[in-house]
Amino acid sequence: MDVKICGLKTREAVEAAAASGASHIGLNFFPPSPRSITPEAAADLVAHVPDGVKVVALVVDADDALLQAIWDAAHPDIFQLHGTESPDRVREIKARFGVSVMKAIRVADAADARSAEAYDGIADLILFDAKPPKDKDKLPGGNGLIFDWMALKAYKGTTPWMLAGGLDASNVAEAIRVTGAKAVDTASGAEDAQGEKNPDRIRAFVSAALQAQ
């Protein structure tokens, strides 16, 4: 079971995630998010990520300049594209940086899940997250919302996927049981408030996910 803790901002949170057995550390580079950090801050955080734990850089429709700044500062293992990036844009980023790309798909129903198939053979990983409400103040992800997990039965693609969307220590085992997920991700489920990670919640989430295997 792969477990990703996303939106980490402090050394304490990074170390808690890594020590608890998380496989992926997520850093957010989308400025409207309360979890967002700068490339310069990321450089300090990745210095505390042990070998074997993958660094994921979350961006939303980022331009080449931002991607390059993130790459120069943090050399992430994966770029997580959480915007409206097309299959061609995914190809461009992979070719430019020679790095794995995870494409986030916002899901409300079966048709949304099927839309991920457009990235087959292009993205290295799909992240299924809850589609946010239409409120203009909602973020593309990390809103603590759960979607209908049964919608994923419509996905017939071959690209491996990770499950996100309102997961926490109390529901991640059930989510894994229902969906058959081999990888899970949380941001808000390990926080006391948006952007404020709680090391105990991080440890509880990772433990619950790993025990659900």
pLDDT in tens, the chain (213 residues): 999 999 999 999 999 999 999 999 999 999 999 999 999 999 999 999 999 999 999 999 999 999 999 999 999 999 999 999 999 999 999 999 999 999 999 999 999 999 999 999 999 999 999 987 665 445 555 556 799 999 999 999 999 999 999 999 999 999 999 999 999 999 999 999 989 999 999 999 999 999 996
Please provide the distance, in angstroms rounded to a whole number, between the alpha carbons at the two ends of the chain.
7
Please tell me the distance from the alpha carbon of residue 175 to that of residue 15, in angstroms, as a whole number.
26
Pairing verdict, β 54-59 and 78-81: parallel
Per the listing, tokens 């989510």 go with: 175
AA identity, residue 136: K
| Chain length of the chain | 213
Could you tell me the pTM of the whole model?
0.93
Q: Specify whether domain 2-211 bears CATH 3.20.20.70.
A: yes
Please tell me the distance from the alpha carbon of residue 179 to that of residue 126, in angstroms, as a whole number.
14
The full set of domain ranges for the chain reads 2-211
